[in-house]
Chain A
Amino acid sequence: MSLQSPLAKVIGLGSARAGADHWWAQRVSSIALLLLGSWFLVSLACLDGFDYGSVAAFLARPGNAILVILLVITIGYHSKLGLQVVIEDYLANKALKVSALILSAFFHVLVAATAAYAVLMISLGRSV
């Protein structure tokens, strides 16, 4: 016997009011990372070497640059979602938890943006 009122049932929100989106986003991003991550590692392994020339030439190509930009954005997203759950689990103090969640979100955006910027500069042939 459900304790939810008919209205609550129709709206579909539980006590946390949100979470399904997080769950689904985590799954979709993990599939994207399965593909992008594997591609990236295999591509690196197929390079002639890890000297500057080979690496820069690889990253400069438009297709590779686009995929690596997508890779770092997806890593940032998936990692942000994952760390969010870890923080929510281990930090009970409200102030600490909220601060950590905000810092984590900002951290992931910053790292993803910087990494994407680096790839963009490489593919544009501009030194940073």
Chain B
Amino acid sequence: MTTLNRPQSPHFTIYRWPLTMVLSILHRVTGVALAAGFPMLMLWLLAVAGGERDYAELSAYLESAVGRLCLVALTFAFFFHLANGVRHLVWDAGYGFEKHQTRVSGFLVIVVTVVLTLAYWLSL
């Protein structure tokens, strides 16, 4: 495949980012992040299956600052992907395509994500 080194006008670097665009790429990013988290879930289950010692070893990692940060980030990614995923399902059913509707639902997704993440970790 030949790449043409032609000059291009700047686009996403200079124009304002629409909310819908940000949420769309975030949906993909959180999806990939969750895909990376899947083997971590597997490792956790393997640690439980391995017995007390294996589990304690993994817990030590998870209870570190980096470990906790990863867990919080993963739950944030999960709640965002879930909320925006529901938004997608509503679109698939045929509703909510008007511009103002996508902005409202988009804002709701952010609120729901933050609320769910906070509520979840505070409840633990």
Q: Among the listed B52, B78, B89, which residue makes an inter-chain contact with A30, where contact means beta carbons less than 8 Å apart?
A: B89
Flag the segment in A1-9, A11-19, A111-119 that touches B. A111-119
The CA-CA distance from A111 to B40 in the complex, in Å, is 9
Q: Indicate if the CB atoms of B38 and A118 lie closer than 8 Å.
A: no
Other-chain residue from B35, B56, B89, B120 in contact with A83 (beta carbon distance below 8 A):
B35
Residue numbers in A under 8 Å from B38 (CB-CB): 75-76, 79, 108, 111
Question: Among B31, B89, B123, which residue has its beta carbon within 8 angstroms of that of A45?
Answer: B123
List of B residues within 8 angstroms of A76 by Cβ: 38
Interface contacts (Cβ under 8 Å), in number, total 80
Max chain A CB contacts within 10 Å: which of B1, B38, B89, B124?
B38
> Given contacts A75-B38, A82-B35, A118-B42, is CB(A59)–CB(B48) below 8 Å?
yes
Question: Would A115 and B32 count as touching, CB distance under 8 A?
Answer: no
Complex partner residue of B32 from A37, A38, A83, A93, CB under 8 angstroms: A83
Chain A residues contacting B49 (CB-CB under 8 Å) are 118-119, 121-122, 127-128
B41 — which chain A residues lie within 8 A by C-beta? 72, 75, 115
Q: Does A22 contact B (CB under 8 A)?
A: no
Cβ-closest chain A residue relative to B45: A118
| Chain A hits for B59, CB < 8 A | 50
* A–B Cβ pairs within 8 angstroms, 22 of them: A30-B88, A30-B89, A31-B89, A38-B82, A45-B120, A50-B59, A52-B48, A52-B56, A55-B48, A55-B55, A59-B45, A72-B41, A79-B34, A82-B31, A82-B32, A83-B31, A86-B31, A92-B1, A115-B42, A118-B42, A127-B51, A128-B51
Residues of B in contact with A (beta carbons under 8 Å apart): 1, 28, 31-32, 34-35, 38-39, 41-42, 45-46, 48-52, 55-56, 59, 75, 78, 82, 85-86, 88-89, 92, 120, 123-124
